[in-house]
Amino acid sequence: MSNRDAALAYAAFEDRNLDAAASHADAAYAAGFKPIQQLGAMIAAQRGEYGNAIARLEAMEDHSEASAALLIRLHLLAGDVRKGGQLLLDCCKANAFGPPLYPIPRWQGEPLEGRRIVAWGGGLGDDILYARFLPMLAATYRTEITLQCRPGLVDLFRSLSGVARVLPLETEVTDCDFHVQTAELTAHFGIARGRMWDGPYLHAAAPLELSGDGLKVGIVWATTATHWEGGSRSTSLAEMAPLASVPGVRLYSLQFGAPTAQLMPPPEGMEVEDLSDRIKGFANTAAAIAGLDLVITIDTVVANLAGAMGVPVWVATPSMPDWRWGLEGSRTPWFPSATVYRQTRSGSWRELFEAIASDLAGLAKDTGKRNASR
């Protein structure tokens, strides 16, 4: 019956029936279907049973990219930063997340003075998070750094201190002695040396001039549909309606991609200025953020960008948050300018944005008083 229970476990998980999924997954595992252990760990994590999920993953003999990534995330989320960071470093060295971009030696922490290194990543939000360590690498090891990234990040990353060249991933680099994935730098610097934050490290060339009075607030309600957690990290513009009812606030959309269609027209009662034509590429998005007083967003690349710039950002996280936001509290050491708002139950976005709107009303009132006294 192991195959049948396994099939029923996957079906129940797709239907978000976690209790039934867990029951079938446990039955399949007990009957000898070992591959179900990864699903069992995912179910436990979704239920907030992080210790159980970690134990299941650590008991697996072979790991897929997904299971290795989940184990790293859970260790970091549970607060075991050293173990999570070391596991991340080990997985990168073992090419667990894909083959290396270059055949040259991988940097292991040896002296670099007089030698060149190419650092590379392949994501968006994660690359923005890990970019903080590149100025540290340059200053500590006195090396010339070439950074390769997704094309939309190239102009933005040219604002990084200590980076000599920023090139798209597709450009082949032939004049470097070592390579390193940007994710690996978390273990070399952020964890080993306790340097999660050295101050804002990404900057806009100049703030975008935005029309209108009042507290200027940028909003984002959905991540990219191709993200593996896109469903849990996306809502609709309508769910953010409580923000539009706050007096003294003007909303600007920093949303990108297909969800911008929700602005044409926006939900009844919402007035939002669409900036999508002015923020092609993340350097332009940074300029828009620099012109705002506050960003309110789902856990998206924009949350990471605003945090990296040191701009106030309120992040609405799903019930199972990403590790950088932690499990509890309203603060994160990774982005000191961020305030974290947490779902009390899966999918409860309207309730969360009502709480955010209440705090926004207080901020708008205080801002209005300060402006009136000038």
pLDDT average, residue stretch 199-210: 95
Residue 322 clears pLDDT 70, i.e. is over it: yes
Q: Are residues 121 and 230 in contact, defined by beta-carbon separation less than 8 angstroms?
A: no
pLDDT of residue 350: 94
| Lowest-confidence region among 29-33, 267-271, 368-372 | 368-372
Q: For 191-204, what is each residue's pLDDT tens digit?
A: 656 678 889 999 99
pLDDT of residue 116: 97
Residue 23 clears pLDDT 90, i.e. is over it: yes
Higher-pLDDT residue of 372, 5: 5
Domain 215-372 homologous superfamily, CATH? Glycogen Phosphorylase B; (3.40.50.2000)
Closest to 3 in 3D by CA, of 45, 34, 41: 34
pLDDT of residue 66: 83
Grouping H, G, I as helix, E, B as strand and the rest as coil, residue 117 is strand
pLDDT average, residue stretch 169-176: 94
| Lowest-confidence region among 120-129, 152-161, 297-306, 308-317 | 120-129
Per-residue pLDDT band for 361 (boundaries 50, 70, 90) equals: very high
CATH number of 116-191: 3.40.50
- The domain spans of the chain are 2-93, 116-191, 215-372
Question: What percent of the chain is predicted at pLDDT more than 70?
Answer: 94
Q: For 294-304, what is each residue's pLDDT tens digit?
A: 999 999 999 99
pLDDT of residue 151: 94
Same-fold call for 116-191 versus 215-372: yes
**Strand duo 338-342 + 178-181: pairing:** unpaired
> How many Cα atoms within 13 Å fall on the side-chain side of residue 372?
7
Residue 245 clears pLDDT 90, i.e. is over it: yes
Grouping H, G, I as helix, E, B as strand and the rest as coil, residue 333 is coil
Q: For 50-98, what is each residue's pLDDT tens digit?
A: 889 999 999 888 888 888 888 988 988 887 878 888 888 888 888 887 8
Q: For 223-242, what is each residue's pLDDT tens digit?
A: 865 544 545 779 999 999 99
pLDDT average, residue stretch 148-169: 96
Residue 176 clears pLDDT 90, i.e. is over it: yes
Residue 372 clears pLDDT 90, i.e. is over it: no
Give dist(CA 279, CA 284) in Å, integer: 5
Architecture of the domain whose range is 2-93:
Alpha Horseshoe (1.25)
